[in-house]
Amino acid sequence: MRIGIDIGGSHIQVGLIDEFGNILAKKEKDILKEDKLEIQNKIEETIIKNILEIIEEQKINILDVKFIGIAFPASFRNGEIGLSVNLGANGELLRKNIQTHFSIPVYIRNDAKCAAICEKKYGSLKYYSDCIFLTIGTGIGGAAFVDNKLFKSPNMDKFKVGHITIQKDGLKCRCGKKGCFENYASITALKRNVTKEFNIEKEITGKELYDFIIKNENNEKMNIIINNYIESLSVGISNLINLFEPDAISIGGSFVYYKDIFLERLKLKIQQNNLLYKDNIPEILLAKFKNDAGMIGASQIEN
């Protein structure tokens, strides 16, 4: 048995998971606005409390747990997970404190990499040896698998796909560069373009954005936004196809909610953009696991 944990921007999931990726027990807690003032302590307390509850309810001993794996929204470099700017929390400190508390190994990795591991082992990419997983939501993250192995080194997670350049002299990115993929093809970018063009409230929820796009799907302005979005997404994906020559690409994150509007258009655009592989375009799939992918993947990251 393992414990898998996913720490998102607004939500913490803690699960007891077997070696085959099955969830045996699960606890979830929202991160509230007031929690964010002392986010580090809140995350730590929540994890410890939930693990103790699961152990008690399942009538097991912590020593029955092989390790604790954490999916965390930051990069893994030089053997350590970095600070999460969005969350305002220190992943390495969290890992150390949880390990000290329970005295069993605690591993921590980038959240998109964990979701990719879940999709590769148990989900949409299970039967593909060379494949790519992309999570498209607030930003764009993901991972590549070459010959069934995650493309990484022991101390680096690699594949910063959200920051490949798709537009020369393009929009300024939070990373400091211009024209990054996620500035054009994330759901955040889509939201920015829709709210700006239609002059509506910028702080709308994902559901409100989706409803607004559906309602205005046949509007000419909306059509231009959608076409530009698909074009940007296909440029980034085409670059990945040429680099990795995958058999399949699976997309997760909030993008999956838009499948009816985007998926067929995206497939067509990728076909048009890929002159090199016109007869052999990889399968474009959607992730099988939704909110549990990070937690399940985190429970399978033994290094």
Residue 78 Cβ, how far from Zn ion at the closest point, in Å?
Answer: 20
Measuring CA to CA, which residue among 85, 152, 78 is closest to residue 301?
A: 152
Binders of Zn ion among 143-172, rule CB under 5 A?
163
Helices (H), the chain: 39-57, 91-102, 111-122, 182-185, 187-197, 206-215, 220-244, 259-273, 293-298
The residues facing 283 across adjacent strands are 248
175 binds Zn ion (CB under 5 A): yes
Backbone dihedral angles phi then psi of residue 2, each to the nearest 5 degrees: -135, 165
Residue 170 Cβ, how far from Zn ion at the closest point, in Å?
Answer: 10
Angle at 166 between CA 162 and CA 167, to 5 degrees: 125
**Nearer CB in complex with Zn ion: 94/173:** 173
**Nearer CB in complex with Zn ion: 185/287:** 185
Output the CA–CA distances (angstroms, integers) from residue 191 to 69, 226, 269, in the order listed.
32, 11, 21
Residue 44 Cβ, how far from Zn ion at the closest point, in Å?
Answer: 30
Per CB under 5 A, the segment of 51-59, 176-184, 186-194, 282-290 that binds Zn ion is 176-184
The pair of structure tokens assigned to 253 is 């994150």
Per CB under 5 A, the segment of 80-88, 177-185, 187-195, 218-226 that binds Zn ion is 177-185
26 binds Zn ion (CB under 5 A): no
177 binds Zn ion (CB under 5 A): yes
**Nearer CB in complex with Zn ion: 51/173:** 173
**Nearer CB in complex with Zn ion: 105/179:** 179
Residue 160 Cβ, how far from Zn ion at the closest point, in Å?
Answer: 8
The region, left, alpha or beta by phi > 0 then psi within -120 to 50, assigned to residue 176 is: left
Residue 186 Cβ, how far from Zn ion at the closest point, in Å?
Answer: 11
Strands 131-136 and 248-252: parallel
- List contacts with Zn ion (CB under 5 A): 163, 173, 175, 177, 180
